[in-house]
Amino acid sequence: MANTPGSKKAIRKIARRTEVNKNRRSRVRTFIRKFEEALTGGNKVAAEAAFTEAQSELMRAVGKGVVHKNTGSRKVSRLHAQMKRASLA
C-alpha cells in the first residue's frame, strides 16, 4: 500500500494513464477490424480507405507510446500485405 503522498499521486496518475491507453488500444483494434471487414467484403475502394485510416491510427498509437514502434510497423506491413494479396486474387 502506498504511504507517501508522492506514491499515492503516482497511483492516481497510473490509473488515469491506463484508462487513456486502453481507449487508444481499443480504437486501433476497431480500425483494424474495419479494414479486415472491408477486405472480406470485397470492396477494394473501401478496403484502401480503411487501410489508410488503420495505418494512421496505428502510427498515432506509436507516437503516443501505446504501441512500440516496431510493433506498429509490423502490423502496418502485414495489413498492407493482406491488401496486396486480396487485390491480386
CATH number at residue 47: 1.20.58.110
CA torsion through residues 41, 22, 59, 53, sign: positive
pLDDT at 1 over 90: no
The span from the CA of 15 to the CA of 58, in Å, is 23
Contact (Cβ atoms closer than 8 angstroms) between residue 58 and residue 17: no
Counting Cα atoms < 13 Å in the Cβ hemisphere of 75 gives: 23
Residue 89 pLDDT class (50, 70, 90 cuts): low
Number of domains in the chain: 1
Task: Find the domain containing 38 and state its range.
Answer: 5-88
What tens digit of pLDDT does each residue of 29-57 get? 999 999 999 999 988 899 999 999 999 99
Q: How far apart are the first and last CA of the chain?
A: 58
Contact 57, 75 (CB under 8 A): no
Mean pLDDT of the chain: 94
